[in-house]
Amino acid sequence: MPLHLHQAQAIGRLASHLYGYLPGSGSQQWRGHISFGSIARQQGVGEYWQGGSKLPAIASLLEETLGRRPERFQPLVLSMVREGLRYWEKQGNPLFRSDIDQLNRLIADVGFKFPELSSERFLQSLPEQSTVEPPTEMVGTQSDDATSLDDLKQRLLELSGQLDRPQAGLALESLLADLFALARLAPRGSFQLVGEQIDGSCLLDDQVYLVEAKWTKDPIGQSELLVFHGKVSAKSSITRGLFVSINGFTAPGLEAITRGRQPNSVLMDGADLWQILEGRVGLDDLMRSKVRRLAEEGRVFVPARELFP
């Protein structure tokens, strides 16, 4: 049964909210882990999980289930929430009561109320977001006014026309921190160590990534990439790096960072970032796919359009 227009719009907002609860389908290395794809199969609606870009896949799964198998809609959403609570508890970044309050409002917009999610006993069991101002280097806790992909896309477009390019570079760091927060990757803002500046860090699958963000006129070359490689290598054997350069990287730079060295970073360019902000691929899924290519092929930069054609 086709959905009413207001229901289809509400499903889109619900999908955006659920986006960060779990991985999508995951790569081979994540086989056996709970994901949106595995939950769809468990709930008997696996045929409605289209895979590929995460946000459209979640929206399609919810819409098709509600339209074709409405009796499975509530069990499907409840399973997503239940596993999301477990997933983020293990990551040390639990879902807050404010997350579930917002979820209940979105479910009501679709035309439902799930007693399991609205019971006061359940809500009181959830941690409250701290009202204390967090340290300046920590950013990205979830709230009812959480930044959306559309907000970030608009900010990126505005930065592209900013005349003060160094200032645009600093603003890019903030944009990425908000993107990491939206994907629940526990971002940390820029910080200084003795003799060096780190643009930020994030956490994915219990792995810490140091982040470098550049928006220069020309592609990033050998010297910047080698300096970043050194920063990451100097921390620990388990530290990885994520270098984001809006205008890409030079071929000699990509060769230099892998020649005679064990690569420890993955790279993203502006086209990759735009794919994420357009909702065509999830940040977490893209990073996992890049890491897999790094492990299998030693390639530090594989474009999103190649990984998710």
Which residue is associated with the tokens 């299998």? 296
Strands lying side by side in the sheet with 207-214 = 200-204, 207-214, 240-245, 265-269
Residue 62 near residue 69 (C-beta atoms within 8 A): no
Instruction: Fill in the amino acid letter for 164.
Output: D
**150: nearest Cα among 308, 274, 3, 297:** 274
- pTM beyond 0.85: no
Residue 144's pLDDT is 35
**Kind plus residue range of the DSSP H or E element containing 60:** helix 54-68
SS3 108: helix
pLDDT at 24: 64
Per-residue pLDDT of the chain (309 residues; tens, 9 = 90+): 667 777 888 888 888 788 778 876 544 334 456 889 899 999 999 999 988 767 778 889 999 999 999 999 999 999 999 998 988 787 667 888 888 998 999 999 999 999 999 999 999 999 886 433 333 343 433 333 345 888 898 889 888 877 777 788 788 888 998 899 888 888 887 665 555 677 788 988 888 999 999 988 889 999 999 999 999 998 888 899 999 999 999 999 999 888 888 889 999 999 999 999 988 888 999 999 999 999 999 999 999 999 987
Output b/e per residue, 255-284; b: 16+ Cβ within 10 A. ebbbeeeebbbbbbbbebbebbbebbbbbb
Question: Encoding tokens for residue 32?
Answer: 């056996």
CA-to-CA separations, 72 to 22, 64, 76, 79, 104, in angstroms, rounded: 19, 10, 6, 11, 18
pLDDT of residue 114: 95
Other CB atoms within 10 Å distance of the CB of residue 8? 16
Domains of the chain, CATH where assigned: 5-124 (no CATH), 149-307 (3.40.1350.10)
| Angle separating helix axes 73-90 and 5-18, nearest 10 degrees | 20
Structural contact between residues 249 and 219, judged by C-beta atoms closer than 8 angstroms: yes
For residue 267, give the H/E element and its range.
strand 265-269
